Structure 1
């Protein structure tokens, strides 16, 4: 089921809507950007930070393997989802500005063993309120959660865009890219990491690793470091190393590269006419550099690359894109997360159940914001129960998720089961 051809009048409306989406939408979309008081000066050459203790990847993997043995199937499936607060409690509408953890939210987090939550500008008011909200989310979780946010800098700054948060505000990544200063970007990563970690966040959906090769690209636009793949790669590497030195996970997005697109996946199906040779020469370069730098996450886009896959299937549901290219060719061993699954490029063609199951079967580890979380969860659980999804496949993804949670200290290293984790979480305070 593909979107029917639009007429010219709708095309005009679509363009206007696309511009509005540059201001606010889902997932890794644009919102929360107060352009005043931007930090246009380079940060100090060295950002002071407390020494961060981390488990090695090998030790974290071993801890995760032990923890995995003590999880139920229902808990494992729950770990595959990162949802927004409104999906946990829709009693006041899809975009209600939840700034506290309601009773219904707490029950949903506990019942479904949610892998993580994503917070938007509408959920972030004051520092004290944000810390309390995150603390309540973690207290409700039987398995400590990923608490994620789009904090790219520039226009996409859910936290720095709020003056009440009193964090460092940066110019657009396009302007940052013009500096061609990797030290600046490394320190920017450290600063953003320190700023959001103090609030309780542990995953940043940044940096944008797209190479902007089309001036008609509205969805990425000034969020990209530029059009030179080697320079973008250098800055992506610097950001990843900077933010992960604070023990906040980085996310390379939007694989396989969305810089040449001329449409907006929030409102339509988008295909890029790139060959595999072109992707390797341009789009993959920053992702390869970010992967070698140790990025914990890669976010896969909903664009189609029909010349490569020979289908109109979105990348987020393509085994060729995620397994053959991202895993095998580029060697990524971390967590693959989809872009937000409530975007029109998905919802126009698939139900929540179809999209979640299709993405997981194709190689995604985490499903971000399915339109109907409950139905998506039930469908994957049913597929596991019926044997359509093997336990080995489920464990493979949950192992990756838990490894990052141990490596970043989200799950304490002395914990080897969800029961212990819940007890430890109940007495843990949010960083001040």
Structure 2
């Protein structure tokens, strides 16, 4: 073969050499082309082997990492962490996570101004999801910081679950912290700022959030999303942001953003709207005769806006909407499950208003109210008249099959996920 090749003319040898060279170059180009896979404009083409030796070309988009993507990943991680925490919890401990109580109700003392051995023992006995503090608990800046920090530590030491440290700090007449401490920025009622626009609503909320976060609070039961639509309603009155549903919606949604700016979890209240109700739920029944359709066009508008802005809590008031349901809203499946969670699609934490208020205690015992609230769809229960009776009542209801443990788990997973996602670990 070699002899035959050597007999070829020089010209033929050159032509054959060129053909071989072209073949090699072509092979290299094809090989590299398959590997680079037409990468253009951030898109990549991938060849997938399918049945019978055929290939299918699938296009995938290479997307940049976004803040929204990071948030989704963080939320997923928080849920995974929450599921791990819940697996190690007893039924009793899970039920306790559904309650937020005062330090006095937790410990049994007449006035709590520090967190010591009694608080530690009480947390271990009833590891509640949160504590709500009032003006009477706040004597000095260092004192309340140490009290909150100590209570959080006892909760974390017991079951590794962060604690909601809560307060009612709306501005105006409902300002537990600003009323107790001289060196905290004092704001007027939110209604007095209604003509100053959305930027003011946001900055006011941020100011409140930063003031209370510095002391250790991580949950504020504000903003009030009720609308001051009834001038004779002095129970809510100027705690509202406006007397206009649309303006209220705009201001409340910006307040929600302001609380987030200040790193505090906020709460829309008092669903489905206390602004036009008659009566005071602190003492007895509060009522409204609005239909559900009227509520959707009016009172619910600020709540919808606040929910869209990302409010992590919605508090349901003790209002009887007589044309919607004869049951008090905080104990009503129609209001909580069908309307708030169903029609409005709210997926955050639903918390009742304080269950030691006259609207509840005049008709229900602590265990009865707690059971009815959970059956209605509430995730957290605020201040029952008796924590001990309420917890025991819910435990008995689960053991008797009146409430399923899956129903408890549904709410507790929400609570733990928010804690893992938003609170210091």
TM-score bracket for this pair, using the shorter chain length: 0.7 to 0.9
Question: Which protein shows a greater Rg?
Answer: 2
CA contact (8 A) 1:218 1:262 kept: no
Q: Distance in 2 between matches of 1:351 and 1:384?
A: 18
1:221 counterpart = 2:237: yes
Please, which moves more after superposition, 386-395 or 327-336?
386-395
2:210 corresponds to which of 173, 179, 194: 194
Whole-angstrom CA distance in 2 between matches of 1:66 and 1:231: 43
Deviation at 1:391, TM superposition (A): 1.6
Q: Give the Å deviation of 1:99.
A: 1.0
Match of 1:238 among 241, 247, 254: 254
1:59 to 62, 74, 77: 77
User: 1:235-292 deviations in whole A, cap 9, x for unaligned?
Assistant: 1110111111333101000000000012100011121111111101110000001101
2:121 corresponds to which of 99, 107, 111: 107
Structure with greater proportional strand content: 2
State the distance in 1 between where 2:77 and 2:205 align: 25
What residue number does 1:317 align with?
Answer: 331
Select which of 232, 235, 252 maps to 2:268.
Answer: 252
Give the TM-score normalised by the residue count of structure 1: 0.79
1:117 corresponds in structure 2 to 131
Other-structure match for 2:362 = 348
In 2, the alpha carbon distance for the partners of 1:293 and 1:58 equals 20
C-alpha distance in 1, partners of 2:222/2:80?
27
Structure 1 position 58, deviation (Å): 3.2
**Residues 209-259 of structure 1: CA distance to partner in whole angstroms, max 9, x if unpaired?**
001111111210110011111110111110111111333101000000000
Quick one: distance in 2 between partners of 1:263 and 1:56?
44
1:272 to 279, 284, 288: 288
Structure 1 gaps, min length 5:
1-52, 413-432
Deviation at residue 59 of structure 1 after TM alignment: 3.0
The Cα shift of 1:83 comes to 0.3
Contact 1:173 1:223 in 2 (8 A): yes
1:89 paired to 2:107 = yes
Aligned to 1:130: 144
The answer on whether the counterparts of 2:141 and 2:181 sit within 8 Å (CA) in structure 1 is: no
Instruction: Give 2:324's match in structure 1, choosing from 308, 331, 356.
Output: 308
The Cα of 1:102 is off from its aligned counterpart by 4.3
Q: What is the CA distance between 1:119 and its match in structure 2?
A: 0.2
Structure-2 separation of matches of 1:163 and 1:111:
32
2:297 pairs, out of 277, 281, 284, with 281
Give me the whole-angstrom Cα distance separating, in 1, the residues matched to 2:129 and 2:178: 25
RMSD between superposed Cα atoms in Å: 1.5
Contact 2:140-2:181 at 8 Å conserved across structures: no
Structure 1 residue 162, shift from structure 2 partner = 2.5
Instruction: Tell which deviates more after alignment, 57-66 or 400-409.
Output: 57-66
In 2, Cα distance between the equivalents of 1:91 and 1:294? 37
Contact 1:131 1:199 in 2 (8 A): yes
1:156 to 174, 178, 181: 174
Number of aligned residue pairs: 351
| Distance (whole Å) between structure 1 residues aligned to residue 402 and residue 273 of structure 2 | 31
Judging by fraction of residues, say which structure has more helix. 2
Please tell me whether the aligned partners of residues 116 and 150 of structure 2 are also in contact (alpha carbons under 8 angstroms).
no
Helix, strand or coil at the partner of 1:160: helix
**Structure 2 residue corresponding to 1:77, chosen from 90, 95, 104:** 95
Matching of residue 392 in structure 1 with residue 406 in structure 2: yes
Match of 1:36 in 2: none
Contact 1:211–1:232 under 8 Å retained in 2: yes
Alpha-carbon contact 1:384-1:391 (below 8 Å) kept: yes
